[in-house]
Amino acid sequence: MSDEIPERSEIVRSTIITVILTVVLLSLGLALWAWSAPEVIDTSPVGALNDMNPFLVLIIEILVMSGMFLFLTITVVNIRLYLTQIRSGWTELILLLIVVFVMTFLMFESGVAIVTLLLSLAVIVYLYMLQE
What digits encode the pLDDT tens for the residues 4-23? 677 888 889 999 999 999 99
- pLDDT of 2 > 60? The answer is no
Cα distance between residue 132 and residue 123, in whole Å: 15
pLDDT tens across 87-107, in order? Answer: 778 888 899 999 999 999 999
- DSSP label at residue 2: -
The pTM of the full predicted model, rounded to 2 decimals, is 0.87
Distances in whole angstroms, Cα of residue 124 to Cα of each of 42, 49, 83:
37, 31, 22
- pLDDT of 3 > 70? The answer is no
Most confident of 38-47, 106-115, 123-132: 106-115
Give residue limits of the domains in the chain: 8-131
Name the residue type at position 63: L
